[in-house]
Amino acid sequence: MSARLHAGIVGGGRGAFIGSVHRIAAELDAQALVVAGAMSADPQNARDSAAAWNLARCYESYLDMARAEAARQDGIDFVIIATPNHLHLPMARAFLEAGIHVICDKPLTATLAEAEQLLQLVRRSKALFALTHNYTGYPAVRQARAMMRDGLIGEVRKVLVEYQQDWLMEAVEHSGNKQAVWRTDPARAGPSGCLGDIGTHAENLLQFVTGLSIRALCADLTSFVQGRRLEDDANLLLRLEGGAKGMMVCSQVACGEENNLAIRIYGTRAGLEWHQQEPNTLLHKPAGEPWRLLRAAHGYLDASAQASTRTPAGHPEGYLEAFANIYRAFIADVLQLRTGQAPRGGYPTAQDGVRGLRFVAAALESAKRGSQWVEV
């Protein structure tokens, strides 16, 4: 039996939601263990966070961590980047240049220019890079993609995608909410708020399921909370590859919403509908026939959906398991490279991240021009 891979993490210290999610996802299938970290820019917080996680090694600098781990015989095999967006590029560069595989939280970087730089770094590196657009890990989402691929939906005519939350309804960035502080700060989040944070997930889900690129868009962006420097609400019309039309609604000020990511696809043969808050169900709407509820973990699903499921039917799986599916595919490729075999993929890449930031840049340009149509 082979030993677990060793992982490190930068960011994700006390008060950060996503760091713990990454750790659980990395370790869920007992194929990796987080052993080292540079978990905060504050030295005391870095030490306290590493101690709380029982890490074997704690660093106060990600640069020191990259150098030291690359020099160790038992150094980390890959690093998790779970920091604000503006740090993704320099951190990824440090570890890629040290020959350490990288798995990074979304969006890829703070800006499109940085994303394009990072993509070139990845292409020159022998190390792997994955981006955690985790919603692609749900079995029902993979089933929807398989049905699209197999022609069961026919030619796509219309796609509706939404991602709505209410956690930024008030100016919580001024009351000490750590997540809100950096996500509403252009210096750390980049030039976009709502679209960069959750709109990139919606764009990625649309492209992953349908296989269609966004060719052009018309965007109306708003900052509803007084004094907020980045948009907290976005409404977009989309023109998709092949002539299909789409709409995207993203908001972080939608009162009463929790984490409402959903997609509806209408083709010439059938429709599909999926809601992240009910993730084990995919609604199939064939023309002239009764609607069908497809449920995770059943033998009638596509092999890609079945391979993403860990528990028997009726035992709900959710966010953490979907996140872990990205890690499982990434770790499998790390092991592939160890044995001299080519990586197989199956997880979002730096190229996906660049596409997401091109989408954001086009939306910002459209809004700047008074909601004119802009090509992506």
User: 228, 240 in Cβ contact below 8 A?
Assistant: no
Residue appearing with tokens 């009351």: 175
Give 238-272 pLDDT, tens digit per residue. 999 999 999 999 999 999 999 999 999 999 999 99
139 membership: H or E segment, kind and range: helix 139-149
Average pLDDT over residues 349-353: 98
Distance CA 358, CA 376 (A): 6
pLDDT at 3: 82
Is residue 1's pLDDT more than 50?
A: no
Return the exposure string of 336-347: e unless at least 16 CB atoms fall within 10 Å of the residue's CB, then b.
Answer: eeeeeeeeeebb
Average pLDDT over residues 199-226: 98
Give 92-145 pLDDT, tens digit per residue. 999 999 999 999 999 999 999 999 999 999 999 999 999 999 999 999 999 999
Distance CA 358, CA 113 (A): 9
pLDDT at 15: 81
Q: For residue 2, name the pLDDT band (cuts at 50, 70, 90).
A: low
Q: Which two tokens stand for residue 289?
A: 């026939």
Whether the full predicted model's pTM is greater than 0.85, yes or no, is yes
Q: Which domains does the chain have, with CATH numbers?
A: 5-127 (3.40.50.720), 139-311+356-375 (3.30.360.10)
Q: For residue 176, name the pLDDT band (cuts at 50, 70, 90).
A: confident
Residue count of the chain, please give it: 376
138: Cα separation from own chain's centroid: 12
pLDDT at 88: 98
